[in-house]
Structure 1
């Protein structure tokens, strides 16, 4: 049997990624909803539809600074003091003049009515006088105080915002599953909403395991590896919107690991470990969490998944509260890819967010690349919009060099299990990474 045939046979024994993800995500449920004050709701996901209890605007109001008037008085149909203007003045070059009978600001509350030939000086946001149907901008007038001369005539309704014009009462403002953005907070507040029911942001605890790990601030030495994983995964969890807590480094001590995980179940909705998922003599996480007790299987199942980079993933629950735990490989690039394909969807599902996966596009490949047989590869890439429409994608470092590629990437190119070579000019799927730059 050839080397390629051996590789293909080995790959056929792996669990397809889609099957694995389906089996994991079906076991998760969104967190119970909370009623939160509006100021605390940003960043969470709505647990139920939100309907406007009041209209916005709540009353007829001026949209610009100017003079609130009756359009018939300035268009020739009323009894304005002066003559009728056009866009550059009225007949014979004469302009309309109206009596200014008062001033209205945003804090004005007494209802007033316009009479023929009169107007009110108004500030943007001020209640509109009854019978007013136009606001003449200040710059189209001589800015008079007792009487005002109007140089240009706006269309009827200009500068006026009617009650409920933008959002009538009863409007569906947002559906369950919607992310609460700053703009949505403003919409809720403007329509009279002070509390909303949301799914809380998941509390995610990150633990790096391994006797070889040392903390950041130094270089790796033989027998030592700097813990980049817990820092990177904490940042990744926070980017999704989780409340992320980095526990730090846990040695390969069975009792220490069990005790640490048990303690963290008290404050976690999801625990992520990194390292120890393989079958080697030092892979303590897999040995401890998958250990059978009597006739019962361990709480975490480790699966060889058709994923590249990184094939060994673990999922299950720990503690009496049965807190979900995701176990990722120790290689930093593989851990970040594992986070993208498994932990990130799990966090979104717990948060009630939809969709749980990143958006994707189809893009034209700029360079011919090869991919491992039988594995679904996620390769860092740079995706760009083409001037004529569509996208192009440039592959970056992958495989054992995935970490350096991810630092530059704004996308992840997805190459299926049956793809061994992708030719330049072919079309591939690309997940869009959310890079806030």
Structure 2
């Protein structure tokens, strides 16, 4: 059977197709400690204030500022207030109370003198430097007032955001659950790392690389050992594992040659195969198999990883509920000329150097087998489909990989 050439699919159209297939994950409630890297599914509204009460910003002495306006002055110490005390006695005029950082400021006090400006006494204290009213006092709701939306839906939950949620008393948070991705590489020539290579064999790398990429994007990856170029073996490896999977992600077996096992196994079963107007990564497939979203990537390692960056990572980030799904970009000047095929968006690998005036250096050539060049790169240089030549110094869009 000879493939009849079809018009090339645009990068934008295929990216939209993959995103639609994956969709948005349902919300779940997880313990705060398990939410790192996820996105809030709902606005987070403060039910308590931060701070919840007036408290001391210093170890020192709670005083009336008027009583220490003239120094040195010695004041009797009438109470000792550690952090965590539920209540304290009011502060009388002309007295001081020893207080620890975070402890509630007693009624009657309007300032705290830090201990370094005193003699540190316990029954009486000599104050050597005065403070104005309000000094070293954290006022109730100075940070967050009750009813404030502190984090909006879609906010990425990093250490600071989780710390804020915990400080507000949230033991769990509503988040989008992680997409579950089944990762599978195909090819009879593949051998697992650490095994002996036979004639015509190569070590399998796509599975490890793509599973790591899924996890880096925020998903959960189940890596299936590569399968030979056999339709029955492919289906036997995939079908028992589809329950609970949000995306089946394959690499290899999607081109126009013989022994294209993924194409042979899934054509006519809900998955459509196409050629996208890009280099590397032209052969692609997308659809549903047994109700599960499917994205099929080319087998060459650079093609597979570039395809993941262009199509799969944005879909996973959208599935997690992040409002911004693309990697950061910048405009940079090429430090050497390059060429690009007409009618195709080219993604060359490069290194970006902001210190030298936003210059990007292509790393390696355009070949989709040059995995070492990809490993040494920190960005993709995007060349539009209507551009075939770029001189040194020409401005290009770079998409960061880190």
TM bracket, shorter-chain basis: over 0.9
Whether the 8 Å CA contact 1:219–1:226 is kept in 2: the answer is no
Paired position in structure 1 for 2:134: 157
2:339 paired with 1:339: no
How big is the shift at 1:19? Answer: 2.1
Whether the 8 Å CA contact 2:343–2:386 is kept in 1: the answer is yes
Paired position in structure 2 for 1:223: 200
Whether the 8 Å CA contact 1:11–1:375 is kept in 2: the answer is no
Cα distance in 2 between the residues matched to 1:195 and 1:49:
13
Paired position in structure 2 for 1:308: 279
Cα distance in 1 between the residues matched to 2:36 and 2:120:
43
Counterpart pick for 2:388 among 417, 420, 428: 420
Paired position in structure 2 for 1:70: 64
Compute the TM-score of the two structures, normalised by the length of structure 1.
Answer: 0.87
Query: Aligned pair in 2 of structure 1 residues 12, 396: CA closer, same or farther (>3 Å)?
Result: farther
What do residues 79-107 of structure 1 show as CA deviations (whole Å, max 9, x unaligned)?
Answer: xxxxx13xxxxxxxxx1222211111112
How big is the shift at 1:42? Answer: 2.3
How big is the shift at 1:113? Answer: 1.1
Paired position in structure 2 for 1:91: none
Paired position in structure 2 for 1:385: 354
Cα distance in 1 between the residues matched to 2:169 and 2:302:
47
Which structure 2 residue ranges, 5 or more long, are not aligned?
none
What do residues 225-253 of structure 1 show as CA deviations (whole Å, max 9, x unaligned)?
Answer: 21011011111111111111211111222
How big is the shift at 1:278? Answer: 0.2
Compute the TM-score of the two structures, normalised by the length of structure 2.
Answer: 0.94
Cα distance in 1 between the residues matched to 2:58 and 2:365:
56
How big is the shift at 1:12? Answer: 9.8
Cα distance in 1 between the residues matched to 2:151 and 2:52:
19
Paired position in structure 1 for 2:288: 317
2:25 paired with 1:31: yes
SS in 1 for 2:144: coil
Provide the aligned C-alpha RMSD in A: 1.9
How big is the shift at 1:195? Answer: 2.3
Whether the 8 Å CA contact 2:68–2:129 is kept in 1: the answer is no
Cα distance in 2 between the residues matched to 1:196 and 1:220:
49
Whether the 8 Å CA contact 1:380–1:402 is kept in 2: the answer is no
Query: Aligned pair in 2 of structure 1 residues 17, 184: CA closer, same or farther (>3 Å)?
Result: same
Whether the 8 Å CA contact 2:18–2:295 is kept in 1: the answer is no
Paired position in structure 1 for 2:247: 270
What do residues 363-415 of structure 1 show as CA deviations (whole Å, max 9, x unaligned)?
Answer: 2222222222221111121113237xx62212211411542222111211111
Whether the 8 Å CA contact 1:313–1:328 is kept in 2: the answer is yes
Cα distance in 1 between the residues matched to 2:202 and 2:320:
33
2:332 paired with 1:363: yes
Query: Aligned pair in 2 of structure 1 residues 425, 370: CA closer, same or farther (>3 Å)?
Result: same
How big is the shift at 1:16? Answer: 1.6
Whether the 8 Å CA contact 2:337–2:392 is kept in 1: the answer is yes
